[in-house]
Structure 1
Amino acid sequence: MNAYRIAVVDDDLHIRNLVEAYLVRENYETIGLGTAEEALELWRSDPPDMWVLDIMLPGMDGYEFCRTIRREAEVPIIMISARDNEVDKIMGLELGGDDYMVKPFSPRELVARVKRQLQRWYKLKAEDEAASHDHASADIVVGELRLSIEERRVFWEGAEVEITLKEFALLQTLSQHPNRAFSRDDLLAIVWGDDYFGSDRAVDHLVKRVRKKIMQLPVEAVWGHGYRLRHEGGERG
């Protein structure tokens, strides 16, 4: 039996009930919500393992909800919308959505994508934890940046910075190889996994999030290629 609990956020009761019914058939636990405000209450009190999130919601929309969640943590999010517009899809993926489906959609296809995202997401999480265990003895220090691999903590100028799983993976990759330029495709494969099919602009958005948290972090854009962490001292400390 699947132990995963999935929150379905949609103000259309018919769609919400339909999606929940198909997920329950596959032995997932579900909770249905009609607004992003209700979803935020759930996130803060008893967060689910995954979100199926409508974009067009009354009050706070799905984009803003996704942005809020991504400031705090990483969790699988499938966005659904009646908007079949490339700009909307790109925006949803850039804000941290892991998949995007256009209404009307096949509930069976949605269930298949839910399974795929959960398998991919928690496989990456397990691999990340295993890698951190293998390298538990060594912190990474590059200038004023320090990463505690064992504890999954980040410090800038001695002060701790709250970081999500993907943000940590990005910082770990760049700081392990200071001054090396990573392409966006490289970073997508490392941080999101080889089977991620979203826009490479998701990398740009992730870098923006990290820069907001560590404003003096010397992450440089390499025009037409990707990013690197500049370190004047050469090798990391």
Structure 2
Amino acid sequence: MTHQIMVVEDDPNIRDIVTAYLKKEGYDVKTAESAEKAMELTQSQSPDMWILDIMLPGIDGYEFCKQIRQTSDVPIIIISAKDEELDKILGLELGSDDYLTKPFSPRELVARVKRHLKRWDVQHRSEVDHVNEETLKAGRLTIYPKERRIFWENQEVETSTKEFELLSILTQNVNRAFSREELLTRIWGFDYFGSDRAVDDLIKRLRKKLENLPIETVWGYGYRLRSEEDDK
């Protein structure tokens, strides 16, 4: 399968060089000079990876990364002239998988692209390991792993891949407390480099989508899905 990569970069020279190197490796590459243009080009088909510049006209790379993460969990690599540690941390906390500082070696970028896409492929081939093939139920929550559908109070709820995985893990282990570090490893993988606030963000999004979902915060540790039987 040929992976499609969307490169969003307003500098035409960098855009052309990155495109040439990626196409040489056999990738299907689409390009855009702004986030707005990229959204137009991906309405009918979402890419398998995003490469985003930060300093874009209009919507900047940070905000666009955040928007992508609301609906997709494909790998995102940020490329930026900003080399401050806080900028890198912000990019990772907003959902990017990697951060590369300009000027960079195109070969290094290609190597990182290969690594992230390989991990992505392995992770999604083995998603079955995260959930049972049987229907998962916990109180008012029902999950159909094969169909990848979630129902809360008999209403279907749309979730991203990582939201689905997190909720499936918690539902399989009702009342068990998971540390943030364990959830990071099980959902993002062992080589994830970023803050455990990524887990907090997933939980926040799930609480918003599934109102009154009994996910409890275990202060200083992590989270657990409480059995609704305990409330009776």
Give the TM-score, by structure 2 length.
Answer: 0.93
Aligned residue for 1:115? 114
Which secondary structure state, in structure 2, belongs to the residue aligned with residue 105 of structure 1?
Answer: coil
Query: Equivalences for 1:4-15 in 2 at 5 Å?
Result: 4-15=3-14
Query: How many angstroms apart in 2 are the aligned matches of 1:158 and 1:54?
Result: 41
Answer with 162-171 or 188-197: which moved more. 188-197
Q: Is the 8 A contact 1:40 1:65 kept in 2?
A: no
* RMSD between superposed Cα atoms in Å: 1.6
Q: Is the 8 A contact 1:84 1:102 kept in 2?
A: yes
Aligned residue for 2:185? 189
Q: Could you give the per-residue CA deviations for residues 74-123 of structure 1, whole angstroms, max 9, x where no partner exists?
A: 21111111122232222222222111111121111111000000000111
Query: Equivalences for 1:71-150 in 2 at 5 Å?
Result: 71-129=70-128, 135-136=132-133, 138-150=134-146
Which secondary structure state, in structure 1, belongs to the residue aligned with residue 88 of structure 2?
Answer: helix
* Runs of 5+ consecutive residues of structure 1 not aligned to the other structure: none
Aligned residue for 2:164? 168
- Displacement of 1:61 after TM fit? 1.2
- Displacement of 1:206 after TM fit? 1.6
Q: Could you give the per-residue CA deviations for residues 154-201 of structure 1, whole angstroms, max 9, x where no partner exists?
A: 111110000111110000111111111111110011111122222222
**Number of aligned residues:** 230
- Displacement of 1:19 after TM fit? 0.9
Query: How many angstroms apart in 2 are the aligned matches of 1:172 and 1:87?
Result: 33
Query: Equivalences for 1:31-42 in 2 at 5 Å?
Result: 31-42=30-41
Answer with 147-156 or 21-30: which moved more. 21-30
Aligned residue for 1:47? 46
Query: How many angstroms apart in 1 are the aligned matches of 2:218 and 2:130?
Result: 28
Answer with 60-69 or 7-16: which moved more. 60-69
Give the TM-score, by structure 1 length.
Answer: 0.91
Q: Is the 8 A contact 1:52 1:79 kept in 2?
A: yes
2:15 is equivalent to residue 16 of structure 1: yes
Query: How many angstroms apart in 2 are the aligned matches of 1:93 and 1:160?
Result: 30
* Identity across matched positions, percent: 57
Q: Is the 8 A contact 2:157 2:209 kept in 1?
A: yes
- Displacement of 1:131 after TM fit? 5.7
Give the one of 212, 219, 228 matched to 1:223: 219
Q: Is the 8 A contact 2:138 2:228 kept in 1?
A: no
Q: Is the 8 A contact 2:10 2:57 kept in 1?
A: yes
Aligned residue for 2:153? 157
Give the one of 193, 200, 204 matched to 2:196: 200
Which secondary structure state, in structure 1, belongs to the residue aligned with residue 70 of structure 2?
Answer: helix
- Displacement of 1:129 after TM fit? 4.2
Aligned residue for 2:25? 26
Q: Is the 8 A contact 1:55 1:79 kept in 2?
A: yes
Query: How many angstroms apart in 2 are the aligned matches of 1:42 and 1:95?
Result: 22
